[in-house]
Amino acid sequence: MACDIRKSLVKPLLIMGVFFLWGGVISMGGEGIVVVDSTGETLRFSKPPLTIVSLNPDFTGNIIALGVGDRLVGITDYCRYQDDLTAPERLGGLWQPNLERIVALKPELVLATREGNNPGIISTLRRLDIPVFVSGQSSSFQNYFELLRKLGYILGREKEAGRLITEFKDRLNRIRHAASDRPLVTVFLQVGVKPLVTINKETLIGEMIEIAGGDNIAADLSSRYPSISRERVLADNPEVIIIAAMGSEAEAGVAFWEKFPELSAVRNKRVYIIDPDLICRLSPGVMEGVSQIESFIVETKGSRMMDEGTEDKE
């Protein structure tokens, strides 16, 4: 499946009067950095960690955006990394990274997520006295801004985090304002081919569609990442179809919908492809993701299918 959709239960924490969905953050005078993650684990650092293992692409992208990518000593095979930086060691997949290599790197901090990483790996690292910060389930841009604030606090990059948040909020407000002057466009966004899977309104992707001026046909389904029938999509007849996939999976998705020329999106050549990393990863790429979704929604003619669906139209 294009997006990692493992479910988890997030228990928001109230710690010393400061609340964050992604775990509480407090700074107690004289005790350095103190952070409580989404599992209730308290981590303490006398100074910002300088050697970090990231077990999720979300963290990797944000650490680089905060200007401290050189602190990464280990990342997963799914993480993207700048060529101009000294490459950290690749540690394997999200669910079964190489535990021995992680331990050998002696990281001051390991970053993981409740939805995407193996709780057994997290528990083992903690038993070995390796600090592991675990973030919770994401469902909105507010979650993303909280994650950036938290990382900025832990890494001593609070000013940089604040600047990014202000920049991102301004960009989202511009997109939302422009969308308010246009009629809503019905949208079906597909994150899985077999079975056919979409997203409801309680997801970051759902919020992206709403900000860009789209009306998600699956918004009111009960599951965050529900299976949906072909018949339901045909009945709702969306004006735009967006397939979050790449390569052969994307080709299969386009070929599937081309069998139904009666669909408004197919008839008007408004079936698009988007890189799943731009909408499934809680990292700076989501800003490009929401911009691409907006471009798909506002386009009214000459729309592009598979071979041009992800080009930047600005």
Which CATH superfamily is 183-308 part of?
Answer: Nitrogenase molybdenum iron protein domain (3.40.50.1980)
Q: Please report the pLDDT score of residue 299 as a whole number.
A: 76
Q: pLDDT tens string for the chain (314 positions)?
A: 456 543 332 333 223 333 333 445 444 445 799 999 999 999 999 999 999 999 999 999 999 999 999 999 999 998 987 655 578 999 999 999 999 999 999 999 999 998 889 999 999 999 999 999 999 888 899 999 999 999 999 999 999 999 999 999 999 999 999 999 999 999 999 998 778 999 999 999 999 999 999 999 999 999 999 999 999 999 999 999 999 999 988 999 999 999 999 999 999 999 999 999 999 888 999 999 999 999 999 974 334 344 344 444 33
Q: Please report the pLDDT score of residue 77 as a whole number.
A: 93
Which part of the chain is CATH 3.40.50.1980?
13-163, 183-308
Q: Please report the pLDDT score of residue 14 as a whole number.
A: 29
Q: Please report the pLDDT score of residue 213 as a whole number.
A: 96
DSSP for the chain, written as a single string:
--S---------EEETTEEETT--EE--TTS-EEEE-TTS-EEEESS--SSEEE-SHHHHHHHHHTT-GGGEEEE-TT----TTSPPPEE-B-SSSB-HHHHHHH--SEEEEETTTS-HHHHHHHHHTT--EEEE----SHHHHHHHHHHHHHHHT-HHHHHHHHHHHHHHHHHHHHHHHTS--EEEEEESBTTTTB---TTSHHHHHHHHTTEEETTTT-SSSS-B--HHHHHHH--SEEEEE--HHHHHHHHHHHTT-TTSHHHHTT-EEEE-THHHHSSSTHHHHHHHHHHHHHH--SS---GGGTT----
Rounded to two decimals, the pTM is 0.83
The domain 13-163 having CATH identifier 3.40.50.1980: the answer here is yes
Q: Please report the pLDDT score of residue 150 as a whole number.
A: 95
